[in-house]
Amino acid sequence: MHLSHTPALLRSLVAAAVLGVVAVMVQRVDVVVLMVPFVVHLAWGWRSRPHVDLVVESRPKAVVIPEGESVSMVTHATHAWRSALVTLQWPVRPGISLDPDSGTVLDAAVPEGVRVAVQPERWGRYDVGPGTVAVCDPSGSWRASTTTPRVTVTVRPTSSSLEGGSGVAHPIGIVGMHRSRRRGDGSDLAEVREFRPGDRLRRINWRVTSRLGALHVNSTLTERDTDVLIVADTLVDIVPARPEAPTSLDATVRAIAAISRHYGGFGDRVAIHDLGRRIGHVRPGTGPRHARMVLNVLSRANRDVPDWDRLRPVGTVTSGMLVFFCSPLLERESQDELVRLRRLGAEVIGVDTLPEGVGQFGDIRSFRRDTFLGEAWMIRRMERDEALARLRSIGIPVTPWRGTSSLASVLLSMEAARSAPRRVPGR
């Protein structure tokens, strides 16, 4: 910590010395009177001179917070002067809101420390700092300054649960919470039928039995879990004209957080496959620990990877696996991958993560007139809309991501389709 005198103390010294010499030489009382404030300040500064080493500690070093919350950077100055003043200054940088706005606060040195609140505007990993701490004695004569270490703030994306049903048409596990079409031990009533050898006695429906005269039992549907694969298309991060608006990567991350939480709650095995390199893969898993791991992986997603890296196709897909394909669906390769997964037998739902205003008519104003980029984006969006229409025509639902209620209609319709009459091929 660098300790030094302030310009005020130097000013007092110079003024007191010069005026003192002049007062003695010319023997004038009035000059002594003018000298008094500087001598008093010198004496105060002399009394406040530091005797022990100052220590400044800043906390926390690293912190993980959910999106939308803030963290207080607390700085303690120990062995400081009695009634010392502490100036704490954190650098302002884009994407982070500070309280106070300037990130700078002048406070008294108190045991609970000096605080500046830091609130990242969206999910991700942020390096905040280094901050600057200056401790000043109450006379403004001495000043000690140092820098605080950088603080890593990891912001987990919001993981609100999806609205709507599970959308699982063909559970492929053994036990779980999704109602399957198979009869067996479960809680949902399938039918009441006559007793057969092997039926459990506790399944006997005594009311129906006494009415009909023959033993009848309740037949139930089994409950099973399933495999959920979330495919993240992070090859390109589409950034809208407004810098504060969510990008396609923001939408992708939030959709993955909500979907993984939703199906994690059902006890399903959730895996993530990244077609690009911004998020990375997550092995199939279930439970709260796996949900936390997914959020940690998402919060470490890297925005700075160059666009259009090589597409990494999904490996094996089990028949009946529920696949959420989160993508802006602008590139032909991504659309082909979506169709390929459907043909492999997966139940595929396309989640459109293209930001809302991109390629719309009103977005043309965001670009320079002579570049015609606005018009180019409109043409690209029209081509994409045509591709989406083709995807829907072959039975792949594609729904734009607009929050937790985005998939409700699709999931409910998929659940309803499970019990719908089916045409058996060949008959």
Partner 1 sequence: MRDLAEVLAGWIYALQITSGQQWVLRLTVLSSGVGAAVLCNLWFPVLISPALLVTALVMAFASVIRPDSVAPLFFVAAVGLWWLAGAAAASQPDGGGGTPGRWLGVTVLVAVFHLSTAFAAAAPSYARVTGRAAKLLSLAGVGYVAVSVAVGMAVLGLAALPRHVLGPGWVVAGALSVSVATVALVAALRPRRAH
Q: Which is nearer to partner 1, 58 or 139 (CB)?
A: 139
The nearer residue to partner 1, 142 or 263, going by C-beta atoms, is 142
Under the binding rule (CB under 8 A), the answer on residue 96 touching partner 1 is: no
30 binds partner 1 (CB under 8 A): yes
Question: Could you tell me if 325 and 351 are in contact, meaning their C-beta atoms sit under 8 angstroms apart?
Answer: yes
Residue 319, CA distances (Å) to 143, 309, 322, 339, 391 in order: 70, 29, 9, 14, 19
Q: How far is the CB of 78 from partner 1 (least distance, A)?
A: 12
Contact flag: residue 192 with partner 1 (CB under 8 A): no
Structure tokens at 195: 């007793």
Q: How many CA atoms lie within 13 A of 404 on its CB side?
A: 14
CB 161 within 8 A of CB 106: no
Which tokens belong to 222? 């089994």
Backbone φ and ψ for 225, nearest 5 degrees, come out as: -105, 180
Binding of partner 1 by 273 (CB under 8 A): no
Of the listed pieces 18-26, 164-172, 202-210, 396-404, which binds partner 1 according to CB under 8 A? 18-26
112-151 footprint of partner 1 as x/- string (CB under 8 A): ----------------------x-x-xxxx-xx-------
Q: Is 18 in the site for partner 1 (CB under 8 A)?
A: yes
The one-letter code for the residue type at 296 is N
The answer to whether 15 contacts partner 1 (rule: CB under 8 A) is yes
Query: Taking contact as CB under 8 A, which single stretch among the options 22-30, 187-195, 266-274, 350-358 is the one that binds partner 1?
Result: 22-30
Q: Which of 233, 263, 188 is nearest to 337 (CA)?
A: 233
Residue 338, token pair as written in the block: 């979506």
Q: Is 76 in the site for partner 1 (CB under 8 A)?
A: no
34 vs 245, which CB is nearer to partner 1? 34
Of residues 24 and 382, the one with the C-beta less far from partner 1:
24
**Residue 32 found at the interface with partner 1 (CB under 8 A):** yes
- Residue 55 as a binder of partner 1 (CB under 8 A): the answer is yes
CA dihedral of 287, 289, 293, 296, whole degrees rounded to 10: 120
Which DSSP state fits 370? Answer: G
Q: Which stretch binds partner 1 (CB under 8 A): 50-58, 227-235, 323-331, 397-405?
A: 50-58
Cα–Cα nearest to 31, from 42, 43, 15, 45: 15
What three-state secondary structure class fits 9?
A: helix
Place of tokens 């984006």: 377
Given a contact cutoff of 8 angstroms between Cβ atoms, the answer to whether 238 and 245 are in contact is no
As measured in angstroms, the least distance from the Cβ of 104 to partner 1 is: 4
2 binds partner 1 (CB under 8 A): yes
Whether the upstream peptide bond of residue 60 has omega within 30° of 0, thus cis, is: yes
How many binding residues for partner 1 (CB under 8 A)?
67
Q: Of 60, 69, 95, 102, which one interacts with partner 1 (CB under 8 A)?
A: 102
| Site for partner 1, rule CB under 8 A | 1-24, 27-34, 36-42, 44-46, 49-50, 53-55, 83, 85, 87, 89, 100, 102, 104-108, 110, 134, 136, 138-141, 143-144
